[in-house]
Structure 1
Amino acid sequence: MSTTPRPPRRSASPMRPELVEPVTLGTLREALADAGFAPLAASDGVDWGTEVTGISMDSRSVEPGDLYVALGGANRHGAEFASQVAAAGAAAILTDDDGVRLVEASGLSGVPVLTAGGLRDLVGPLSARIFNSQPADAPRPQLFGVTGTNGKTTTTYFVNSLLKSLGKTTGLIGTIEIVAGDQPIPSALTTPESPQVHGILALMRERGLDAAAMEVSSHAISYRRVDGVRYDVAGFTNLTQDHLDLHGSMEDYFLTKAKLFTPQRASRAVVCVDDEWGRLLAGKSGVETVTLATQGSLEADWSVRAVERVGLGHRFELHGPGVQVLQARTGLPGTFNVSNAALALVMLLASGVESARLQHALDTADPLTVEVPGRMQLVGAEPAAIVDFAHNPDALERTLASVRRPEEGSRVIIVFGATGERDQTKRPLMGAIAARLADVVIVTDDDPHGEDEQTIRNGVLAGAEEAVRTRALATQVLEVFPRGNAIDRAVAMAGPADTVLVAGRGHEVFQEVKGVNLELDDRVELRRALRRHGFSALGAEAVES
């Protein structure tokens, strides 16, 4: 058995802390048993004193000292790469019974092989223990998690900006970027897996950050990417139709989101109760919960009142228990951004920030006016040219309702499509919404993935054309592709008082077509079209990140 502890291992990975204190396989076995998991099994002679300094589910990212978790995949089993990870310095391999047979068939020796059932359930707790990402006995960043269908990204940016205005050093984990302090963390992953999430949290702790904000999608919960993570404050925005290709029903979608609001995953919560799902969640939440109403006269602990449009943005009041009132503003377009801003404010209040201190930050720093890439991002003023991520019916309706300019005769011209190999039922719904709320609807391609582009467009067009016919609308419906041509057509039709909205892809810089990533940034295409047709554009004409 190992008798001489190794020093902390230095990692070159940007998604891990630089130094990790070694932990033995025996310690990991005990930690899982204490958490209620079945004991890890091993063949005779396994040295439980073997030290581990990292964890990976990807054979290509294994570093010396890693525990490699070999899972079965759709096409290949991770254990097929046992020799490769051993050569890379893996300290041990954890796999299932099928994986053990593959390792034995490879003739590999000298690397401990452990077995367990339900491997994916173990990755989060193992990652948390190996990286010591959220220690109970040492300082760590306060962690804010935001879930819901729409508004997650913007709310995390608001939380981050508010924290900075209070003098905090912050981190961000989201779909657009991952940042630790002022340093971006490069990642080839759209959604980090559990080892990366815990590695990033440990990195933020190592760098002494005060707090971090994180998007928590239903995919992240379903695929156990945030297992072992505990949020100091969890926030809920809303729940509308999306991701039914994964969940099957709104009820299942809701139950997945609700898993975040349990004592194992959160200390306290803030829930927006504007929709029925929020009200249901507030009643079912298993942790201390503060409620927020941003529309109408719903009863809640905190409520938004006196909303007033100022330029593209809004001023509003946030009323709380007793006589607490916060005066706030956001320069981002859309009343839904008032909701996002209010949620961010109440999450900070729930974390213990005093309202007077928060009001001082609102008065001196304007923290709720922050550019969020691809979220109501303004790239031109005359015409108003906006790129937004709205890619489901509710988001599209909210966005379209917020962008019409007050000038008489101004029009809204929208360019959008639908994603391939996703929930097909929302395509005609989105087409109908666009026809009802825009003056010109240009249907084009989004990310078709492996699906036929014409089939996708037909689904959207059917909804738009039926709405025009049954409602006797004057809306003009066009089909233009590829997407760059559609954006150019929209700008060519626009006048200075109009609004051109390009929706669906937001910050994305590649369009996936039959397995090939084609360079395409809606913001770049829109700027080019504006200048080509004699209008001015905001920002540089370059692919954004």
Structure 2
Amino acid sequence: MPEQNDAVQIPPGTHTTAGSTAAGHSGFRPARVVPVPLREIAASLGVEVSEADAAVTVTGVSLNSRAVEHGDLYLALPGASRHGAEFAAQAVTAGAVAILSDHDGAKRLLADGGPGVPVLSVREPRTAVGPVSALVYRSQPAGEDSPTLFGVTGTNGKTTTTYFINSLLRALGKTPGLIGTIEILAGAEAIPSLLTTPESPDVHALLALMRERGLDAASMEVSSHAVSYRRVDGVMFDVAGFTNLTQDHLDLHGSMEEYFRTKAELFTPARCRRAVVIVDDEWGRTLAAEATVPVTTLSLQGKREAPDADWTLVSSTPRGLGNGFVLRHRDGGELRARTALPGDFNIANAALATIMVLASGVGRDALQAALDEQDPFAVAVPGRMQLVSEAPASVVDFAHNPDALARALEAVRSREEGSRVIVVFGATGQRDQGKRPTMGAIAARLSDVVIISDDDPHDEDAAAIRAEVLAGAVAARDAEQLRCEIVESFPRDVAIRKAVELATEKDTILVAGRGHEIWQEVKGVNLALDDREELKAALTARGFRVPADERIES
């Protein structure tokens, strides 16, 4: 995903920073910002300014000329195709009082007599964005109360874990905020999110807003993109959590080792105070061994796989669609919890949320009381194992990589005799191509009916993407003598209707890959498409019952 600022082309009508309002201004900024003299910003960057320029005061930071507010420092960064300096005049007209750019951008700005506001020039402006945003917004001031900040990273489970953390915090009587894939919450205000982690100025503005509103805590998904693109620079997490690492985003990182190293940057004293790491894969064990902050380890596989883990899952019992489970500390103490979402991976998500909240300083007795009395892990997470109907069991999930797809398919398999699993999925365009045949093979092994359709093709040829997924499914079926039926069906709404047409009340339908998303990007055009709504409509048309559930956000 490219950085969303003035240095790249943005499709018309698209909000350019997560949380932008219709007018183009940030909905995240605190109501009151103490003006910061430009001399203070310049000093933090090691840059000199004239006496007149030093007196200019800054009250905001923006990477996007269309989101500039009066008093902003406009960050004119270089990009792959455009330079932010090209939009400086627009930024100044909107109210920018100063500009920060690289040396090339500063030369461009000053070549024609200057933009009419002070220009600061540094060699690597991207490295300055986080620290400058933190300085201007005073997002986590030393010596003052700030929300306890939880950061969750890993390939799968980030969204659900942050929802679980927040639900558990509410059960403890706290008022938490959320920065994530689906939405951003600053108290009661909810704003749809465009990025897993917003750009750095928005992150710091949000943290300042949460502090201003008196929030106790906040949870944030931290993707590898967020670390690579420096979106969390200058942010200090009180507790960082690691879920797992499986193949994904290799289009950005090139190798699993580089992908891991990017994630591992979060677990350093510059970014977090303490960590909780699931050590059920090689990457988790390596991270726990190499992290340079205090680490609490958690294993869901038992003492045989992780004999030195601080917390271990010692039992789990099916409970409705979900499970009850018990975690035991190496000192013998236990915590009991339950989750309403299906799958062992949701036990892992709930367990990680529990131990992260414990690591933040909450006492075991208070934590157990909240788990017993409030049932916090019954919270519905939009597009994550979201149940649409029960007969047939129809589930929408965000699973869009091999490990997540396998886990989802294993989780929805019914024990009822004669039941089948029908899966609808595809692969995203302009992303890691190597996972496409792998996902096809997984679907063939774990499903009875495989319906291969489109995900978000972006600018790739949709038929070519389907062909790669289809080849993997057919190869696995033929080589392993699998009995699954394989169907290619498109567009996606037609594929979903096909799945419902084939289903009986005993069967399970899994629509995987897009989860909560409501737009499908095809050749630069955003098409309205919500898997949940398409599935509801198809089920209703066939006469299946679709219960209303007000707890589930659509």
CA contact 1:521–1:544 (8 Å) conserved in 2? no
Distance of 1:285 and 1:140 partners within structure 2: 25
Name the counterpart of 1:275: 281
CA contact 2:179–2:197 (8 Å) conserved in 1? no
Q: 415, 438, 455: which is aligned to 1:446? A: 455
Name the counterpart of 1:291: 297
Name the counterpart of 2:34: 21
State how 1:241-252 maps to structure 2 within 5 Å: 241-252=247-258
Quick check: 1:501 aligned with 2:514? Answer: no
TM-align CA RMSD: 1.6
Distance of 1:359 and 1:351 partners within structure 2: 15
Deviations 1:414-457 (A, max 9, x none): 00000001111100000000000000000000000000011100
Tell me the matched-pair count: 527
Q: Report the Cα offset of residue 285 of structure 1.
A: 0.5
Q: TM-score, normalised by structure 1?
A: 0.94
CA contact 2:197–2:221 (8 Å) conserved in 1? no
Quick check: 1:63 aligned with 2:69? Answer: yes
Distance of 2:285 and 2:115 partners within structure 1: 56
Q: Report the Cα offset of residue 405 of structure 1.
A: 1.0
CA contact 1:65–1:89 (8 Å) conserved in 2? yes
Name the counterpart of 1:385: 394
Q: 87, 90, 100: which is aligned to 1:94? A: 100
Q: 133, 137, 145: which is aligned to 1:139? A: 145
Q: TM-score, normalised by structure 2?
A: 0.93
CA contact 2:302–2:312 (8 Å) conserved in 1? no
CA contact 2:25–2:67 (8 Å) conserved in 1? no
Q: Helix, strand or coil for the counterpart of 2:358?
A: helix
Q: Report the Cα offset of residue 194 of structure 1.
A: 0.2
Name the counterpart of 1:158: 164
Deviations 1:10-32 (A, max 9, x none): x9731111110011111112334
Distance of 1:21 and 1:41 partners within structure 2: 22
In terms of mean alpha carbon deviation, does 20-29 or 270-279 score higher?
A: 20-29
Q: 403, 409, 433: which is aligned to 1:400? A: 409
Name the counterpart of 2:18: none
Distance of 1:333 and 1:399 partners within structure 2: 9
Going from structure 1 to structure 2, the CA distance change for 1:136 and 1:45 (only over 3 Å counts) comes to closer
State how 1:426-505 maps to structure 2 within 5 Å: 426-505=435-514
CA contact 1:141–1:211 (8 Å) conserved in 2? yes
Name the counterpart of 1:35: none
Q: Helix, strand or coil for the counterpart of 1:342?
A: helix
Gaps of 5+ in 1: 1-10, 33-38
Gaps of 5+ in 2: 1-23
Going from structure 1 to structure 2, the CA distance change for 1:54 and 1:197 (only over 3 Å counts) comes to same
Q: Report the Cα offset of residue 41 of structure 1.
A: 4.9
CA contact 1:487–1:502 (8 Å) conserved in 2? yes
Quick check: 1:354 aligned with 2:363? Answer: yes
Distance of 2:396 and 2:73 partners within structure 1: 43
Quick check: 1:40 aligned with 2:52? Answer: no
Name the counterpart of 2:325: 316
Quick check: 1:421 aligned with 2:427? Answer: no
Question: Which amino acid is the alignment partner of residue 78 of structure 1?
Answer: G
Quick check: 1:237 aligned with 2:250? Answer: no
Distance of 1:166 and 1:242 partners within structure 2: 35
Q: Report the Cα offset of residue 109 of structure 1.
A: 4.8
Name the counterpart of 2:109: 103
Going from structure 1 to structure 2, the CA distance change for 1:189 and 1:269 (only over 3 Å counts) comes to closer
Distance of 1:162 and 1:109 partners within structure 2: 50
Q: Helix, strand or coil for the counterpart of 2:547?
A: coil
Distance of 1:448 and 1:283 partners within structure 2: 39
CA contact 1:94–1:114 (8 Å) conserved in 2? yes
